[in-house]
Amino acid sequence: QKEVEQNSGPLSVPEGAIASLNCTYSDRGSQSFFWYRQYSGKSPELIMSIYSNGDKEDGRFTAQLNKASQYVSLLIRDSQPSDSATYLCAVIARNFNKFYFGSGTKLNVKP
């Protein structure tokens, strides 16, 4: 079982819609969760971090964490073509010294 699982996609949404990206993790003791955006051929860029259950909003982005279900999601409101990228979910293991990355979900926002 992989530590972090993501649907590879692609997820296609029309411009202006809400994109919903999902991630599950296996270690119930994980404490810290991150979303990275990676454009094709580029390095990952941190866009959100979340540490406690519930929602965290930053501009058009909302991260949602449910530790009981071992589930973290990223919502992108008013999706733009420039949001088209691969979104990586990352989790810090309970011993705090290793990140585990999912393989990413590719998002296509169609004009």
Site for another protein contains 87 (CB under 8 A)? no
Q: Are 48 and 63 within 8 A, CB to CB? A: yes
d(CA 59, CA 62) in angstroms, rounded, equals 8
d(CA 25, CA 1) in angstroms, rounded, equals 10
> Which residues between 8 and 67 bind another protein (CB under 8 A)?
8, 31-32, 34, 36, 42-46, 49, 51
Site for another protein contains 7 (CB under 8 A)? no
d(CA 23, CA 42) in angstroms, rounded, equals 22
Q: Which is nearer to another protein, 9 or 20 (CB)?
A: 9
List contacts with another protein (CB under 8 A). Answer: 4, 8, 31-32, 34, 36, 42-46, 49, 51, 88, 90, 92, 96-99, 101-104
